[in-house]
Chain A
C-alpha cells in the first residue's frame, strides 16, 4: 500500500527466503551478519543452505564465488562497507573477473549508520563497485521495489551488488516487475532533470512539492538500477532540459552523479549539479534525519540546492 512504512532489511531477507523456497540453488552467506540482514526465517527453514563465516568478509566473498562456480546462487549481505571496501579485491577478482553469479548486498548503506561513524558509513560503494567490469548495481527506492529487485537479481546471471538502507521507508510506487537497467520518469517537466536513486527518491518526491510552489517544473527520473545506467533515458532528458541534478546518499564524486556526468560529458552545454555528501569524512549523529538535513539531503535541502542551481 502506498505510504506504508516497511523495514528494508526485513523486507529483503523475507523476499530472498521466499525465492529460496522455489529456487533450491539459493544459498546465504553470513559474516556474523545473517540475522541482522533479515535472514532469521531463512536460518530456521534452510539451515543446510546457510553458511556462517564469522567476521570474515574477504573469506566469505571468496567462498561464495567458489560455490557459484558449482551452480549455486550465493547471497551475501552485511554492512555495506564490509562487503565493498574491505573485500574490494576479492569482489573484483573472484566475482567480477571470474564472472561469478554472486549477489552481494550492502545494508545500512549511506549514512544510515548515522552515529557509528565513517568506518560503518558507506559513501563510496557505488564508486567502488562500478569500477568492476561486468558488475550490476541496484539501489531500489522503496520496499516493494526491494522485493522485486530480489527476484530480478536472482533471475539474472552474473555478479550483482545491491544497496539497501536501514530505517523504515515508505512504499512509493505500485508494484511492477523490476527490469535491470531501466529507469522511470516519475514526473515529466522541462526546467531541470532531477535524477535520483535509492533512499533519496522519497526526499526528491517531497522536494518536488516545494519546487512546484516555486514554479519549477522538474523532470524526475528514478534509477533503481545504477549500473548499467539507463543511458538513453538520461541523454534524452539532458538534451531537453540542459540542466541536470543528481541526488544520492553517496559522495558527490565516484557515484551515480559522476557516472551521469561522465555519460553526458560529450554533450555540449549540459551542466550537471551533483548533490550528495561532500568528499569529506561525514560527521555523526544518532539521528539519521538530522544528519541528512545537515548535509542538505532532506527534502528541504534538496529543494534549496535545486533552486540555487537554477538561480531561483
Chain B
C-alpha cells in the first residue's frame, strides 16, 4: 500500500481496455480529450469501438443515448465539468429521462484539476447528477475501487455517472480481497467517538486523519461511501446511531453532494449533529493540486483539526 499512487482516470482507461476484450458491445465516446481522460488506452486496443466526437459534449451525450437504444453500452467520457455541467440537460433529458444504459465516465473532477482553474474545476457534479431521477452516482477512492466500479457500472442496467480524478492518489484497497457493490458503503475503520464519511480522494485523507485523531484520543469510525446515489442509508444510520456525531468529507461543494445526501438521510432518520467538510460555496482557482487540497481544507491535517473542533 505504502507509496503506490495512481490517478483514478488511469484506472478508468485500463479498466475500459480490459472490459473491451470481455464485452463486445462496449463502446467508448470522447470529446477530444482521450489522452487526458485515458480512454486513449481503450482507443489503441479497439479503434473501431472508440468514437471521438470532437469538442461537442452535448452532441456526444445525444450520440451515446442513441447508441444505447440499439443495445450497445456506451461509456461517454470527458471532464466532469463538461459532462455534468455543459451537457447537463442532454444527460437529464436524453439519457436520464428515458433511463438509457449510458455510462458517463467523468474525469478531472473537483479542485484537484489544478492549474486549469475554476472553469475546469467541477465541485458540483455530484449534486448535479444526484438530482436526476434514476441516475447512479459513483465516486471511487482509488485504483482498485475505480476498476471494480467501471465493471459494476457496465453490468448495471441504467445510467451511471462515474467520477474520476486527475491527481494520482494512494492505493488503499487490496486488489485480492476487495469487493465492490453499487450502493454499499464500506467501513474501513471501526470507532466510537465520531463517524467520518468520505468519498473519492478524501477517503485516504480521512483514513490518515483518523490515525492522527487516534493519537489525540479520538476514536473515529471511517466509512467509504463510493456510491452517493443510491446511498447506503442503513450503514449511515447505524454508524451515526453508534457514535452520535458525523463528519462528511468530499472533494466537492459542501452543498448538495455527499454532505447533502448524508444530511438528508440523517435529518430524516437519525438527527445527530453533522459537520460537512468540502469546498465551501466558492469557485475554485488555479494552482498545484496538492496545494489546493490543503488550501481548501480537505487534506488529512485540516480534516483532523476540523474534526477535533467539532468533537
Q: CB–CB under 8 A between A and B in the complex?
A: yes
Q: What chain B residues lie within 8 Å of A81 (beta carbons)?
A: 89
Task: Give the size of the chain A interface in residues (CB under 8 angstroms).
Answer: 39
Q: Say whether A254 contacts B283, CB under 8 Å.
A: no
Q: Say whether A131 contacts B271, CB under 8 Å.
A: no
Could you tell me which B residues sit within 8 Å of A by CB distance?
A: 81-82, 85-86, 88-89, 92-93, 96-97, 118-119, 124, 127-128, 130-134, 253-256, 259-261, 263-264, 266-268, 271-276, 281-283
0/1 interface trace, chain A 260-280, chain B, CB 8 Å (1 if under): 011011111111111000011
Could you tell me which A residues sit within 8 Å of B by CB distance?
A: 81, 85-86, 88-89, 92-93, 96-97, 118-119, 124, 127-128, 130-133, 251, 253-254, 258-259, 261-262, 264-274, 279-281
Within the assembled complex, what's the spacing in Å between the Cα atoms of A93 and B266? 33
Q: What chain B residues lie within 8 Å of A89 (beta carbons)?
A: 81-82, 85-86, 88
Q: Say whether A128 contacts B283, CB under 8 Å.
A: no
Shortest Cβ gap from A268 to chain B (Å) = 5
Q: Say whether A253 contacts B131, CB under 8 Å.
A: yes
Q: Say whether B271 contacts A268, CB under 8 Å.
A: yes
Contact of A254 among B96, B118, B131, B282 (CB under 8 A): B131
Contact of B255 among A119, A262, A266 (CB under 8 A): A262
| Residue in A closest to B281 when the chains form the complex, CB atoms | A133
Contact of A261 among B119, B267, B273 (CB under 8 A): B267
Q: Say whether A270 contacts B275, CB under 8 Å.
A: no
Q: What chain A residues lie within 8 Å of B86 (beta carbons)?
A: 88-89
Q: Say whether A265 contacts B263, CB under 8 Å.
A: yes
- 28 A–B pairs (Cβ distance < 8 Å), ordered by A: A81-B89, A85-B88, A85-B89, A85-B92, A88-B85, A89-B85, A89-B88, A96-B283, A97-B119, A124-B132, A131-B127, A131-B128, A131-B256, A253-B264, A254-B256, A258-B256, A258-B263, A258-B264, A261-B263, A261-B267, A262-B276, A265-B259, A265-B266, A265-B274, A266-B274, A267-B273, A268-B272, A268-B273
Shortest Cβ gap from A272 to chain B (Å) = 4
Query: Given A93-B119, A253-B131, A261-B263, are A130 and B276 also a contact pair (CB < 8 Å)?
Result: no
| Residue in A closest to B118 when the chains form the complex, CB atoms | A97
Q: Say whether A262 contacts B260, CB under 8 Å.
A: yes
| Residue in A closest to B117 when the chains form the complex, CB atoms | A97
Would you list the 9 A-B pairs with minimal beta carbon distance, nearest first?
A85-B89, A265-B274, A131-B124, A265-B263, A89-B85, A261-B267, A89-B86, A254-B131, A86-B89
Q: Say whether A127 contacts B97, CB under 8 Å.
A: no
Interface-centre pick from B86, B131, B272 (highest chain A CB count, 10 A): B131
Within the assembled complex, what's the spacing in Å between the Cα atoms of A118 and B133? 11
Contact of A128 among B119, B131, B259, B282 (CB under 8 A): B131
Within the assembled complex, what's the spacing in Å between the Cα atoms of A97 and B283? 7
Within the assembled complex, what's the spacing in Å between the Cα atoms of A270 and B270? 9
Shortest Cβ gap from A281 to chain B (Å) = 5
Shortest Cβ gap from A226 to chain B (Å) = 12
Q: What chain A residues lie within 8 Å of B268 (beta carbons)?
A: 271-274
Shortest Cβ gap from B283 to chain A (Å) = 5
Within the assembled complex, what's the spacing in Å between the Cα atoms of A89 and B263? 26
Within the assembled complex, what's the spacing in Å between the Cα atoms of A280 and B99? 11
Q: What chain A residues lie within 8 Å of B97 (beta carbons)?
A: 118-119, 281
Q: Contacts A97-B118, A270-B267 given; 11 further ones with Cβ under 8 A?
A: A130-B255, A131-B255, A251-B131, A253-B131, A258-B256, A262-B259, A262-B263, A265-B259, A265-B263, A266-B275, A279-B131
Within the assembled complex, what's the spacing in Å between the Cα atoms of A86 and B94? 12
| Residue in B closest to A81 when the chains form the complex, CB atoms | B89
Q: What chain A residues lie within 8 Å of B273 (beta carbons)?
A: 265-268
Within the assembled complex, what's the spacing in Å between the Cα atoms of A195 and B236? 26
Within the assembled complex, what's the spacing in Å between the Cα atoms of A254 and B260? 8
Q: Say whether B267 contacts A272, CB under 8 Å.
A: yes
Q: What chain B residues lie within 8 Å of A251 (beta carbons)?
A: 131, 133
Shortest Cβ gap from B282 to chain A (Å) = 5
Q: Say whether A274 contacts B264, CB under 8 Å.
A: yes
| Residue in B closest to A96 when the chains form the complex, CB atoms | B283
| Residue in B closest to A266 when the chains form the complex, CB atoms | B273
Q: What chain B residues lie within 8 Å of A265 (beta carbons)?
A: 259, 263, 266-267, 273-274, 276
| Residue in B closest to A86 when the chains form the complex, CB atoms | B89
Q: What chain A residues lie within 8 Å of B260 (beta carbons)?
A: 253-254, 258, 261-262
